[in-house]
Chain A
């Protein structure tokens, strides 16, 4: 994994106070970090994205020279996410990332943007597997990170990550199957909504006529 000089150069310039450089770096990675948090938290998305970048420039997290800026950034994001969940659940017993899913945390997704049905199902399935598994899979599928990059983000041995990816895929596949099946079984569409909307138009016209 080759280091990406431009990223690191921009980071150095930003740390010197060059806001334009910071802006470029931010723009380059915003979409990834936004995606990372979006499917996991409801409230606080904006803060988490901002904190992630600010933590980088302030150097609060130690930067390991053998990793890329991107893995560093995701590492910071990952820690902040854990911290976020912990804060939310301060009163409850400590949250176990290996056993709890984003769905379980009771936090609605900020935006599930998949437009097509199968996309939505996948996003939903991702939300319903344990957060650790969700993160591993999203880094794998979305960010196309290798096992060693993912290991750098999560601060785990590479072998552990490989095992986790495999287990996560199985969990995802299972969830996906269940979701697909259960939504197929249901007859929830009342079928009258269009007619309902049309009838309201008439009601509205009368409400207005009555006023005039």
Chain B
């Protein structure tokens, strides 16, 4: 491919050429141009060759600001999360090739991930656990301190205040234990007090390895005390706070944390440690032998607290409290008002309220626990079976979802039991409810129980589909509370007959199948329920069945049929004054109409839904659903502000019911993100999508298709906001997820690689853009030839190849596209397939094969007429004429070339396709010049072309006669 040398230009030419090249290269050789990859490579090599562990510039998406501390486990950096504009602490764990694959390391990672899914006011928030450069990093809330120890010395608080702070810390530990995370190094230095007065427990499960402190301030040598322990080798934790089992290196569980916590609290309350000794060894001996010191006199701390501490400090774990919760209950002043209500789930609140009420009125009278009524519905055995079934699917996120599902069902069972007890007591203890109403409400609860039993049945026989859909069903568990307040009138008063029970079971089946993602079976079950309910006077069941079938049909995209079902449900409900069901029907209908972008119908439906909801005494969840659908309607109509108002209302209602961290918040957050997109607020859009990613990541862990969508959405938001470098990691993560899952998600992988190609172009990274374009095209190869995604991917790949001068390779791709008919394709795809053929011609022209070029270009010109979109048609026609002009010039027919270029300009009209217009001007100028060099139009066209090109940010090419460049 080496050309024959043309006659050498004279020396002057080469001198100006030198200047030009040097000007162009300015910047290409600077350190900035080293790029992140280059800088990483430098850091990697320095580490390899010189053992230099330089602070990385960035860890994941976090820009490193400063080194906070170093310890046995690694380094902690202060960093800045650009995406969320906040400071974070990032702990980068040391790379140790020997232990990288050790079970301990895996456990560490697992626990950190568990912690990342835990959100509790008294536990440091872990934002992300990831790997950077082969090392594990943990990004978490940045907490400047002070530690509880410092606070104690500087504030000299009285004992009740100290106790209150430690109880907060204990709540944090209890929450972590509930997530299977044991701290292993509880001590005052790991309990931080925030500016808001909240205590946070930090450094969970990470304080392992040689040095006792995971974080020792830089340049501060460890104290002699710590050094003494360091010599003991593998023992973890700080000796004064270590449990006997830790010292003896026995098995460590949550009760070990309880012990350490009690040591710290003891010390904080009494000013001395519970186990005394002259040296570290003495202290450890005292701990192991259980030589507990009596508290000093005159401390004023109630005996209740002292006794609780003594029990928590017992040498044998079995003698301590069973868990932190029991210890905390004992530490709290029983006469003070409970404050646990601030956190947790509504159901838990209910349990406590019921418990308090029962206590106040003497719970001995009246109602049993009703445990037997729940027997076999959801218990340890069911949980075990479910977890096994989930794990057996091999889905990477199955265990996480199983754990979440289990917790959800635990809470539901608690709420149900509480509701059941409350209903009982309302009659028997408080005498405020008639026996008849009692029976109605109990009937309602038993129905809910049976419905949940079916869901559990699906869960314990889970396959991939169930695993993938379970989270939705769990978000929709029936609320026992609605039964507790159910009115005497209404469908639930209906008398149960054997036929009715059978219909009911069909309806429940349909619900459970829908929950399990088995839309087709759900549709069949609902259909049977409808058939039977028609011949029965059971409008409530009929309406329910229609709604369920409509939902099943929505899932398989049978929108028109779904609308029919919802309409029938509404008719039945309204004729029988079933307001809640009517509201649900309208909401569902509005939702479908919003999805299929029929804003007008959706709006009308939503208005009717509003009216129906207004008639309800206790709208509950329906009010949230209404607000969401009103938001959807506004989005469909392109009204960002209105959508935002509605979604935020839904968010407020839902937060009041289930708290901000519940995963049912995800659908609202996605809506909020879309509303912000419509409003053009990129920052808020990204913030909403970040939140979606965080919540859903916590629910699913990694690798779930929806988490892929979350990443894609974030990447696209960053890209739209003009931040390609931030879009990149999200899109890369999405691509990984989609590719790993395969199947129907491959098309999303294609789309992600296309977007990554565009990202790479903005980043100026040609190797990256070519790579992603190639991947997109390869993944799209299995799709049908006329598929828009395939056309997009292949044309992008060809474009990338041509940009790198690889004409032959590009032509292969273009030829493939040129086989596709543009008829019926949307504008961009139709344009792509026609332009592809023209480009094949242009590549032939570049090789000097003018006859072949002519064939392709004429064909392109004809095919251009098949494009529906007038703008794209004009573009394609003008392109073919531009190519034709070039070929005619090469064939020595400048007259014809000038005419072709002129026709091209006429076809273009005043459409804003300026780069093509410039090329047409150039072609016409070259043609006219060949006919008559003195033609005044030549200079005019060149001036115009140059001005336009420079306005577009292009560079006027040094004009070279193509023949000078030699033949390829």
Contact B758 A197 (CB under 8 A): yes
User: What is the distance, in angstroms, from B880's C-beta to the closest C-beta of chain A?
Assistant: 9
Which range contains the number of B residues in contact with the other chain?
A: 35 or more
Q: In chain B, residues 775-815, which have Cβ atoms closer than 8 Å to a Cβ of chain A?
A: 788, 792, 795-796, 798-799, 802-805, 807
Asked whether B33 is an interface residue with its Cβ less than 8 Å from the other chain, the reply is: yes
Asked whether B314 is an interface residue with its Cβ less than 8 Å from the other chain, the reply is: no
- Choice from B472, B770, B882, B962 contacting A211 with Cβ under 8 Å: B472
Q: How far is the CA of A101 from the CA of B46 in the complex (A)?
A: 31
Most buried by B among A20, A31, A190, A197: A190
The segment from B37-45, B123-131, B493-501 that touches chain A is B37-45
Asked whether B356 is an interface residue with its Cβ less than 8 Å from the other chain, the reply is: no
B residues in contact with A211, CB < 8 Å: 469, 472, 706
Contact A166 B828 (CB under 8 A): no
B residues in contact with A31, CB < 8 Å: 29, 31, 34, 38
A residues in contact with B829, CB < 8 Å: 192
Contact A23 B52 (CB under 8 A): yes
Contact B832 A46 (CB under 8 A): no
Q: Given A119-B24, A189-B799, does the pair A34, B41 have CB atoms closer than 8 Å?
A: yes
- Choice from B713, B755, B835, B964 contacting A187 with Cβ under 8 Å: B835
Asked whether B458 is an interface residue with its Cβ less than 8 Å from the other chain, the reply is: no
Give a binary string over A10-41; 1 marks a CB under 8 Å from any B CB, 0 the rest. Answer: 00000000011011001100110011001000
Q: How far is the CA of A196 from the CA of B716 in the complex (A)?
A: 12
Q: How far is the CA of A179 from the CA of B960 in the complex (A)?
A: 11
Contact B25 A191 (CB under 8 A): no
Asked whether B555 is an interface residue with its Cβ less than 8 Å from the other chain, the reply is: yes
A residues in contact with B24, CB < 8 Å: 116, 118-119, 122
Contact B879 A195 (CB under 8 A): no
Q: In chain B, residues 917-968, which have Cβ atoms closer than 8 Å to a Cβ of chain A?
A: 919, 922, 954-955, 957-958, 960, 962, 964-966
B residues in contact with A195, CB < 8 Å: 827-828
Contact A188 B29 (CB under 8 A): no
User: What is the distance, in angstroms, from B744's C-beta to the closest C-beta of chain A?
Assistant: 10
B residues in contact with A45, CB < 8 Å: 41
B residues in contact with A20, CB < 8 Å: 50
Contact B670 A208 (CB under 8 A): yes
Contact B886 A185 (CB under 8 A): yes
User: What is the distance, in angstroms, from A185's C-beta to the closest C-beta of chain B?
Assistant: 6
A residues in contact with B12, CB < 8 Å: none
Asked whether B270 is an interface residue with its Cβ less than 8 Å from the other chain, the reply is: no
User: What is the distance, in angstroms, from A74's C-beta to the closest C-beta of chain B?
Assistant: 14
Q: How far is the CA of A196 from the CA of B804 in the complex (A)?
A: 24
Contact B957 A184 (CB under 8 A): yes
Asked whether A91 is an interface residue with its Cβ less than 8 Å from the other chain, the reply is: no
Contact B33 A113 (CB under 8 A): yes
Asked whether A83 is an interface residue with its Cβ less than 8 Å from the other chain, the reply is: no
A residues in contact with B916, CB < 8 Å: 187
Q: In chain A, residues 185-212, which have Cβ atoms closer than 8 Å to a Cβ of chain B?
A: 185-193, 195-197, 200-201, 204-212
Contact A190 B52 (CB under 8 A): no
Contact B767 A192 (CB under 8 A): no
Identify 6 new A-B residue pairs, CB closer than 8 A, beyond the known A112-B766, A170-B8, A171-B3.
Answer: A174-B966, A181-B965, A182-B846, A188-B799, A205-B670, A209-B591
A–B Cβ pairs within 8 angstroms, 23 of them: A19-B49, A38-B38, A46-B45, A50-B45, A111-B38, A114-B764, A119-B27, A170-B14, A187-B919, A188-B839, A190-B792, A190-B796, A191-B872, A192-B872, A193-B828, A197-B720, A204-B712, A208-B706, A208-B709, A209-B632, A210-B557, A212-B666, A212-B667
Contact A110 B767 (CB under 8 A): yes
Asked whether A164 is an interface residue with its Cβ less than 8 Å from the other chain, the reply is: no
Q: How far is the CA of A167 from the CA of B3 in the complex (A)?
A: 12
Contact A111 B919 (CB under 8 A): no
Asked whether A178 is an interface residue with its Cβ less than 8 Å from the other chain, the reply is: yes
Name the CB-closest residue of B to A207.
B709
Give a binary string over A57-69; 1 marks a CB under 8 Å from any B CB, 0 the rest. Answer: 0000000000000
Contact B45 A26 (CB under 8 A): yes
Name the CB-closest residue of B to A179.
B805
* 9 shortest interchain CB distances as A-B pairs: A192-B828, A177-B960, A115-B764, A180-B957, A188-B799, A23-B50, A212-B667, A112-B766, A187-B879
Contact B716 A177 (CB under 8 A): no
Q: How far is the CA of A45 from the CA of B922 in the complex (A)?
A: 42
Asked whether B875 is an interface residue with its Cβ less than 8 Å from the other chain, the reply is: yes
User: What is the distance, in angstroms, from A175's C-beta to the closest C-beta of chain B?
Assistant: 8
Contact B25 A119 (CB under 8 A): yes
Asked whether A90 is an interface residue with its Cβ less than 8 Å from the other chain, the reply is: no
Contact B38 A34 (CB under 8 A): yes
- Choice from A120, A173, A193 contacting B758 with Cβ under 8 Å: A193
Contact A177 B958 (CB under 8 A): yes
Asked whether B2 is an interface residue with its Cβ less than 8 Å from the other chain, the reply is: yes
Most buried by B among A23, A26, A113: A113
A residues in contact with B962, CB < 8 Å: 181
- Choice from A117, A170, A212 contacting B955 with Cβ under 8 Å: A117
- Choice from A26, A118, A130 contacting B46 with Cβ under 8 Å: A26
A residues in contact with B828, CB < 8 Å: 190-193, 195-196
Asked whether B336 is an interface residue with its Cβ less than 8 Å from the other chain, the reply is: no
Asked whether B870 is an interface residue with its Cβ less than 8 Å from the other chain, the reply is: no
B residues in contact with A111, CB < 8 Å: 35, 37-38, 765, 767-768
- Choice from A35, A178, A201 contacting B716 with Cβ under 8 Å: A201
Q: Given A117-B954, A204-B709, does the pair A188, B716 have CB atoms closer than 8 Å?
A: no
Give a binary string over B739-754; 1 marks a CB under 8 Å from any A CB, 0 the rest. Answer: 0000000000001001
Contact A172 B803 (CB under 8 A): no
Classify the interface of chain A: helix, strand, loop or mixed. Answer: helix
B residues in contact with A179, CB < 8 Å: 805
Asked whether B677 is an interface residue with its Cβ less than 8 Å from the other chain, the reply is: yes
User: What is the distance, in angstroms, from A161's C-beta to the closest C-beta of chain B?
Assistant: 16
Contact A113 B765 (CB under 8 A): yes
Asked whether A128 is an interface residue with its Cβ less than 8 Å from the other chain, the reply is: yes
User: What is the distance, in angstroms, from B226's C-beta to the closest C-beta of chain A?
Assistant: 29
User: What is the distance, in angstroms, from B90's C-beta to the closest C-beta of chain A?
Assistant: 24
Contact B713 A204 (CB under 8 A): yes
Give a binary string over B874-914; 1 marks a CB under 8 Å from any A CB, 0 the rest. Answer: 01000100110010000000000000000000000000010
Asked whether B838 is an interface residue with its Cβ less than 8 Å from the other chain, the reply is: yes
Contact A172 B21 (CB under 8 A): yes
Asked whether A53 is an interface residue with its Cβ less than 8 Å from the other chain, the reply is: yes
User: What is the distance, in angstroms, from B953's C-beta to the closest C-beta of chain A?
Assistant: 8
Asked whether B134 is an interface residue with its Cβ less than 8 Å from the other chain, the reply is: no
User: What is the distance, in angstroms, from A210's C-beta to the closest C-beta of chain B?
Assistant: 7
A residues in contact with B261, CB < 8 Å: none
Asked whether A183 is an interface residue with its Cβ less than 8 Å from the other chain, the reply is: yes
Asked whether B483 is an interface residue with its Cβ less than 8 Å from the other chain, the reply is: no
B residues in contact with A181, CB < 8 Å: 957, 960, 962, 965
Q: How far is the CA of A161 from the CA of B767 in the complex (A)?
A: 31
Q: Given A22-B49, A200-B716, A205-B670, does the pair A130, B2 have CB atoms closer than 8 Å?
A: yes
Contact B21 A201 (CB under 8 A): no
Asked whether B719 is an interface residue with its Cβ less than 8 Å from the other chain, the reply is: yes
- Choice from B5, B798, B842, B954 contacting A170 with Cβ under 8 Å: B5
Name the CB-closest residue of B to A206.
B595
A residues in contact with B719, CB < 8 Å: 197
Q: How far is the CA of A211 from the CA of B798 in the complex (A)?
A: 35
B residues in contact with A171, CB < 8 Å: 2-3, 5
Asked whether A104 is an interface residue with its Cβ less than 8 Å from the other chain, the reply is: yes
- Choice from B45, B832, B882, B922 contacting A49 with Cβ under 8 Å: B45
User: What is the distance, in angstroms, from B842's C-beta to the closest C-beta of chain A?
Assistant: 6
Asked whether B6 is an interface residue with its Cβ less than 8 Å from the other chain, the reply is: yes
Asked whether B359 is an interface residue with its Cβ less than 8 Å from the other chain, the reply is: no
Q: How far is the CA of A211 from the CA of B476 in the complex (A)?
A: 13
User: What is the distance, in angstroms, from B455's C-beta to the closest C-beta of chain A?
Assistant: 17
User: What is the distance, in angstroms, from A38's C-beta to the closest C-beta of chain B?
Assistant: 7
Most buried by B among A45, A109, A208, A210: A208
Asked whether A99 is an interface residue with its Cβ less than 8 Å from the other chain, the reply is: yes
Q: In chain A, residues 65-102, which have Cβ atoms closer than 8 Å to a Cβ of chain B?
A: 99, 101
Contact B764 A113 (CB under 8 A): yes
Contact A50 B49 (CB under 8 A): yes
